[in-house]
Each structure stands twice: as C-alpha cells, then as structure tokens.
C-alpha cells in the first residue's frame, strides 16, 4: 500500500475519533452545567433556610429582651439600639402598620402608645430643649413611626411634617393623659365601697 492509500484510510478514522471526542466534550460540559445549577439551587435553599432561622432567632430574641411599651430610660435606649437592626424595624412595622385609626393623628397616637407608656412620654420632648428630657426628633423610634405610617396604604403618600406634628401632639399631651388616668382611678376607687362599709356575714338583720 502506498503512502497516499495509507493516508486516505487514516483520515476517516481520525475524523470519526474527533467527532466522538467532540460529542463527549459537549455531553460532559452539559452535565457539568446541570450539576452546577443543581448545586446552586441547593445552596440557595440552604441560604434561605439559614436566613429564616436567623430571622426567627432575632424575632425571638427581640421579644425576649424588649418589652413594649417602654416605661423608662434604659428600655428606651435598648429599643433605640435594637432598631439599628433593620430586621427588628421590619418586624415592628409589620406589627403596627395595621393599628388603624380614624385619621392620621389617631394612627400616629396609636403607634406611639404601643411603643411608649404615657408615664414615660412625660420624659420625652421633641427636640430635647429641656436637657432633662429625651429628644424624639432624629431618634430611631421616630423613624420607625414614620416607616410604620407609610407602610399603611392609606397613608403611603403622607408628608413627614404631618407625622412630626402628630408625634409632637402625642408627646405634649402625655402629662394630661397621665393625670386623666389618675383622676379616673380616684373616681373608681371612691365608688367602690371599702371593706369597713361592707356588711359582715352573719351580722345582718333578719
């Protein structure tokens, strides 16, 4: 067999081998891509699961350490610190954005009442002009109130100054609400007969 004949016999074999290698490479690449996609999906599921567990832990921790409404300076500062974590903000926004109310002012007052007692409200001021009081303007709590209001579809487009005005009104009237509660308690107490005024069993007339 001459050289030309030998070369002509080798060419189909080489071409066939090259075609087979190409097919194997394509199949290998396809399978590799499928495996990679599968791994990515598994990793995403794991990440979502870990995120859920982490968020659940954060929520449990928040409920465990933070009792609302706050009633003293230490609790206020703790709430301020906890609100630096956006997950805590989201939790409270979701919880309080459905409080409702007859109007914006009523809605804002309900949010503040859920966050702060009337008693501690007397220790707050809007800009902190009185150094003995805590400034609300610029606080994380006020930012939370704004976000909560706007999370409600009814008030999504409300202006911040309107929320500020309603917040100032709630703070200003805290002392009045405390006094009203005391007056109501005194009236109720005066209407309830004392034990000395109650008839003693066995001593009443026949």
pLDDT, tens only, 140-196: 999 999 999 999 999 999 999 999 999 999 999 999 999 999 999 999 888 876 555
Q: Which regions of 110-180 does DSSP assign to beta strands (E)? A: 124-125, 134-135
Q: Of 5-19, 22-36, 110-124, 180-194, which has the strongest mean pLDDT?
A: 110-124
Half-sphere exposure of 159 (CA within 13 A, CB side): 3
Q: What is the pLDDT of residue 147?
A: 97
Band of the pLDDT at 66, cuts 50, 70, 90?
confident
Tally Cβ neighbours within 10 Å of residue 142.
Answer: 19
Q: Is the pLDDT of residue 3 over 80?
A: no
Maximum Cα–Cα distance across the chain: 144
Q: What is the CA radius of gyration of the chain?
A: 35
Mean pLDDT calculated for residue range 119-140: 94
**How sure is the predictor about 78, in pLDDT bands with cuts at 50, 70 and 90?**
very high
Q: What percent of the chain has pLDDT over 90?
A: 52
Closest residue by Cα to residue 100 from 89, 114, 88, 87: 114
Look at residue 128 in the predicted model and tell me its pLDDT.
86
- What is the Cα–Cα distance from 167 to 165, expressed in whole angstroms? 5
The pLDDT assigned to 155 comes to 95
Q: Supply the pTM of this predicted model.
A: 0.65
Tokens for 91, please give them.
């939790």
Residue 156, SS3 per DSSP: coil
Grade residue 204 by pLDDT with cuts at 50, 70 and 90: very low
Owner of token pair 């066939």: 16
């Amino acid at each position: 067999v001459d050289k030309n004949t030998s070369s002509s016999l080798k060419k189909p074999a080489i071409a066939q081998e090259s075609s087979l290698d190409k097919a194997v490479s394509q199949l290998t690449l396809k399978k590799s891509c499928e495996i990679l996609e599968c791994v990515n999906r598994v990793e995403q599921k794991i990440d979502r699961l870990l995120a859920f567990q982490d968020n659940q832990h954060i929520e449990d921790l928040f409920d465990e350490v933070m009792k609302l409404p706050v009633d003293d300076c230490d609790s206020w500062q703790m709430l301020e610190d906890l609100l630096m974590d956006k997950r805590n903000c989201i939790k409270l926004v979701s919880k309080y954005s459905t409080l409702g109310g007859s109007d914006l002012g009523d809605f804002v007052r309900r949010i503040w009442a859920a966050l702060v007692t009337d008693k501690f409200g007397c220790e707050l001021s809007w800009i902190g002009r009185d150094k003995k009081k805590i400034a609300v303007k610029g606080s994380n709590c006020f930012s939370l109130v704004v976000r909560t209001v706007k999370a409600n579809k009814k008030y999504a487009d409300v202006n911040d100054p309107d929320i500020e005005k309603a917040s100032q009104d709630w703070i200003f009237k805290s002392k009045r609400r405390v006094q009203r509660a005391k007056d109501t308690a005194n009236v109720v107490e005066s209407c309830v007969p004392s034990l000395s005024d109650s008839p003693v069993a066995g001593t009443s007339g026949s």
